[in-house]
Amino acid sequence: MRRVLLAAPLAVAFFASPSPAAAQPWVVAPASDGAETISQLFWFTLVLATIVFVLIEGLLIYSSLRFRRRAPLPFHEPPQMHGNTRLEVMWATVPALILVGLFGITVSRMGDLSQLPTDPSTLHIGVTGRQFQWDFAYGTSGVKSTNDLHIPVGTPLIFDVTSIDVIHSFWVPDLYGKIDANPGRINHITFKATQPGTYRGVCAELCGPGHAGMQFRVEAVSLTDFQQWLEQQQPGASAALAAPPVGAPAPGAVAKPGAPAAAPGGNAGAGAALMAQKGCGGCHTVPGVPGATGSVGPNLAGVASRTRIAGGVVANNGPDDLKKWIMNPSALKPGTAMPTLGLSDDEATTIVAFLETLK
């Protein structure tokens, strides 16, 4: 009964809210097969609870009005009743049957949801939570991204979810339910996105002071677009500034500052060379920067299209904020692992010009 009472205001809120817009973070705007199943279960339960609620409250109101004491009449006690076996059996049995039914449907749907696809086109995506960001790794491609998850629509996906520190919870409401990211353990979820779009993902487990900022974005695009993106992000790929394929430095090589190889990208190319020189690649993987394959810090592929960086302290990522951040990280985020490199204003501008090409 208490649950029913709680469901009622929720029901009102849902019915009163405008039709689910794109990327609305509700299970009621499902954009994958898994979310569709969860959503059906949600609506089924809600409708059932609403029927029970209306019935019980209706009877209560009806009885209160119908059998109320009418003022002018002198008081006399109405006939007293004790026990009604038939009624009591009924109100114990009917809710029990409803709950058993709900339980059965839920368990069977959970079974469907946890069925891992065997389709050879299935893409495995590694998801690693850490305080306070999400790292994603795409199959065997070697491509990684941070806080930006790219997925193809229509391809079965398996997410291998883990953590390197504390317990987090990976949640994209429009695409699936929550799954814990536990250190030392890999949890799997699977779904197939059915609608292209941008979806909001969050960490749904209180994991420390940066928990609220541990958000990420999901870009669901066509398979062709996804593959194109994947190619662009290959660690050896030349990224957006199109370093010359011929004579490009081998992975692991350190570009010399001002080396001609960087010239075609202009200021951006100089920024890439500068990053190599400053050793950014020791911690970060950076497409277009030779030898930058570090994994201590966030992968910088696509950093320019992130809405927030540095675990959320830089909330409106743009060239100016990015520059402030790289020039003096600990001023913005005390205790950050990102070192202050003592970049000059010009150096920072040059590096940001390059970072802005990483979309």
Q: Residue 191, preceding bond cis, omega within 30 degrees?
A: no
Per CB under 6 A, 207 contacts ligand CUA: yes
Alpha carbon 54 to its chain's center: 36
| Closest of 162, 163, 137 to residue 148, by C-alpha | 137
| Phi, psi of 263, rounded to the nearest 5 degrees | -55, -40
Least distance from C-beta 60 to ligand CUA, angstroms?
42
Least distance from C-beta 134 to ligand CUA, angstroms?
8
Per CB under 6 A, 149 contacts ligand CUA: no
Least distance from C-beta 171 to ligand CUA, angstroms?
10
Strand intervals (E) in the chain: 123-130, 133-138, 143-146, 148-152, 157-163, 168-171, 179-181, 187-191, 197-203, 216-221
Q: For the packed helices 266-278 and 345-355, what is the interaxial angle rounded to 10 degrees?
A: 110
Least distance from C-beta 312 to ligand CUA, angstroms?
11
Q: Which stretch binds ligand CUA (CB under 6 A): 45-53, 76-84, 201-209, 349-357?
A: 201-209
- Of positions 27, 157, 203, 280, contacts ligand CUA by CB under 6 A: 203
| CB of 59 or CB of 206, closer to ligand CUA | 206
Q: Which stretch binds ligand CUA (CB under 6 A): 97-105, 140-148, 206-214, 310-318?
A: 206-214
Least distance from C-beta 211 to ligand CUA, angstroms?
3
309 neighbors 299 (Cβ within 8 angstroms): no
| CB of 288 or CB of 297, closer to ligand CUA | 297
- Of positions 27, 137, 214, 300, contacts ligand CUA by CB under 6 A: 214
251 neighbors 291 (Cβ within 8 angstroms): yes
Residues contacting ligand CUA: total by CB under 6 A = 9
For residue 227 the two structure tokens come to: 């593959």
What's the angle, vertex CA 259, arms to CA 266 and CA 238, rounded to 5?
60
Q: Which of residues 10-49 bind ligand CUA (CB under 6 A)?
A: none
- Of positions 129, 177, 265, 281, contacts ligand CUA by CB under 6 A: 129
Per CB under 6 A, 298 contacts ligand CUA: no
Q: Which of residues 150-179 bind ligand CUA (CB under 6 A)?
A: 168
122 neighbors 155 (Cβ within 8 angstroms): yes
| CB of 41 or CB of 214, closer to ligand CUA | 214
Q: How far apart are CA 159 and CA 201, in angstroms?
A: 14
Least distance from C-beta 205 to ligand CUA, angstroms?
5
Least distance from C-beta 216 to ligand CUA, angstroms?
11
| CB of 165 or CB of 225, closer to ligand CUA | 165
- Of positions 135, 148, 174, 205, contacts ligand CUA by CB under 6 A: 205
Order of strands, sheet of 148-152, starting from the edge strand that comes earlier in the sequence: 148-152, 216-221, 197-203, 168-171, 179-181
In the block, tokens 């809210």 appear at 17
Give the residues lining the site for ligand CUA (CB under 6 A): 129, 132, 168, 203, 205-207, 211, 214
